[in-house]
Structure 1
Amino acid sequence: MRAVILLLLLSTGNAGSQPDKEPPRRRLACVRCCGPSEQPVSIFSQRSARMSGHPEYSVPKVQPTIDITILKGEKGEMGERGFPGAAGKAGERGSRGLSGRKGQKGQPGPQGHSCKQLFAAFSVGRRKPLHSSDYFQHVTFDTEFVNLYQHFNMFSGKFFCYVPGIYYFSLNVHTWNFKETYVHLMRNEQAAAILYAQPSDRSIMQSQSLMLELQEGDEVWIRMFKRERENAIYSEESDVYIVFNGHLIKPALE
């Protein structure tokens, strides 16, 4: 109150005197007491507001700020692994890579057969007649017409395949009158074809032919098959009535 009365007296004294020149007013410095968005309040306004208690001129309270980074907790444990997602689309084919280094030289293969060629052919005959004495009887041959590279064994009566591929075989026999003729053309231990003639009062020539695909090591030969009747094939020393032929048509591709 004393400060208010003093100010009123000073203003009254100044009003009675009319000086030639008005003295310069003293500027009061502004002190920031609020945020950047609020208007600054002078010291005089602050004092007047406190003295009068007017709500519009009350000094704003500054709210303290808290640094959230200092409140960060410790790192938690890793969670369980989730289910795998669906497969994505296939990517584009990449460019061709660089050529690798040349590999080491391989081991030499097994030694080939000295008689192995890309050709095979034989033609053999029999000059002696033959009567079956066993249930199965092997037919051998005594006459050699063609035996290329000796692929047909005259001692065993079997053709041995050295060159795999497709072969053509034919068998010609002369039947014996009043006797049955039952002959198998064999591949290994299985009958591939049959040559058959019923008993007759006269002898006739019978033939059979077929093609077989052979692997290396297969054997082709002839056997007689005895049933209830007597089985026989006819021939004589002066001529050849029984002929067995075979040759390679096309070798297998390696």
Structure 2
Amino acid sequence: MGTAALGLLWAALLLLLSVSGLPTEEPTSGEAVASSSPGNCRRCCDSEDPTVLADAAHVSSASPSALPYVLPEVRPYINITILKGDKGDRGLLGSPGKLGREGPRGDRGPQGIKGAKGQAGSPGSPCQRRFSAFSVGRKTALHSSEGFQPLLFDTVFVNPDGHFDLAAGHFVAPLRGLYFFSLNVHSWNFKETYVHVVHNDKAAVILYAQPSDRSIMQSQSVMLALAPGDRVWARLFKRERENAVYSDDIDTYITFSGHLIKPEDD
């Protein structure tokens, strides 16, 4: 084979290699962009070695007498993405992270179905009745005699347990505790009104009105600590002047009321 034919063969081989784009090393994107010059097109897989480029250019333009030419070393391209090893063992559990922020409160869920009725509880212990109250009135007037005179009543408004003795005009305490009492009367024209609220046999408070040409309503109230069996009642007391309270058969001008406020254990 002649020298001219051998030179053409090497030129064809170099042209085939440049067209097929056999890679030597993967250039980075930066290198590919940096090595490109404006106005010239080149493949990213082309060699960037100036010596190789000069040799290739020399071969393409050399005369047949410059052959034979030694080809540059071509490095094989290896795709490392296909080289996958076996799955490794699971690592140790790491320490827990910090607790995150509390999230917003969610919407209220749908109402559930009604549950079954529970069993009845055991019966409670019997309790003592701890209640007492009364309210009575008088529809007739009363003039006092010498000394003390009990104020009796003829009308019952409230006396559910019979703690007020209407015949004697006394309230009898059924329980130990604190009681509240109130007495209301109407005075008589030009006559003195002098009435005691009595605890057992001792006057607790007094209701008083001086003689006047006009009759007026008078009231008195008191709170007493009573023991079972204690009595509370009202009485008129005559002194130098005539003592009286007014009422009539139509309206009730005189009332006496009381009730238990707070019972106390014996």
- 1:118 and 1:163 map into 2 onto residues whose CA distance is 7
- AA in 1 matched with 2:263: P
Structure 1 residue matching 2:129: 3-state secondary structure = coil
Q: Percent identity?
A: 63
- 2:154 and 2:260 map into 1 onto residues whose CA distance is 22
Give the match for residue 245 of structure 1.
257
Which stretches of structure 1, 4 residues or longer, exceed 3 Å deviation after superposition?
none
Give the match for residue 208 of structure 1.
220
The reply to whether residue 158 of structure 1 matches residue 187 of structure 2 is: no
- 2:247 and 2:150 map into 1 onto residues whose CA distance is 16
Q: CA deviation at 1:229?
A: 0.1
Give the match for residue 244 of structure 2.
232
Q: CA deviation at 1:253?
A: 2.2
How is 1:74-89 mapped onto 2 (pairs within 5 angstroms)?
none
Give the match for residue 148 of structure 2.
136
Q: CA deviation at 1:163?
A: 1.1
Give the match for residue 54 of structure 2.
none
| Residues 40-60 of structure 1: per-residue CA shift (max 9 Å, x gap) | xxxxxxxxxxxxxxxxxxxxx
Unaligned residue ranges in structure 1 (runs of 5+): 1-115
TM-score normalized by structure 2? 0.52
Aligned residue pairs total 139
Give the match for residue 33 of structure 1.
none
Give the match for residue 120 of structure 1.
132
Instruction: Give 2:209's match in structure 1, choosing from 197, 215, 218.
Output: 197
- 1:245 and 1:144 map into 2 onto residues whose CA distance is 10
Instruction: Give 2:179's match in structure 1, choosing from 148, 163, 167.
Output: 167
Q: CA deviation at 1:117?
A: 2.9
Give the match for residue 184 of structure 1.
196
Structure 2 residue matching 1:193: 3-state secondary structure = strand
| Residues 138-196 of structure 1: per-residue CA shift (max 9 Å, x gap) | 11000000002000011100000111100000000000010000000000000000000
- AA in 1 matched with 2:260: L
Structure 1 residue matching 2:161: 3-state secondary structure = helix
User: Counting strand residues as a fraction of each chain, which structure ranks higher?
Assistant: 1
The two structures, once aligned, show a CA RMSD in angstroms of 0.9
- 2:129 and 2:191 map into 1 onto residues whose CA distance is 42
Please say if residues 173 and 242 of structure 1, whose CA atoms lie closer than 8 Å, have aligned partners that are also in contact: yes
- AA in 2 matched with 1:232: A
Instruction: Give 2:158's match in structure 1, choosing from 143, 146, 150.
Output: 146
- AA in 2 matched with 1:223: R
How is 1:31-50 mapped onto 2 (pairs within 5 angstroms)?
none
- AA in 2 matched with 1:122: F
Unaligned residue ranges in structure 2 (runs of 5+): 1-127
Please say if residues 178 and 199 of structure 1, whose CA atoms lie closer than 8 Å, have aligned partners that are also in contact: yes
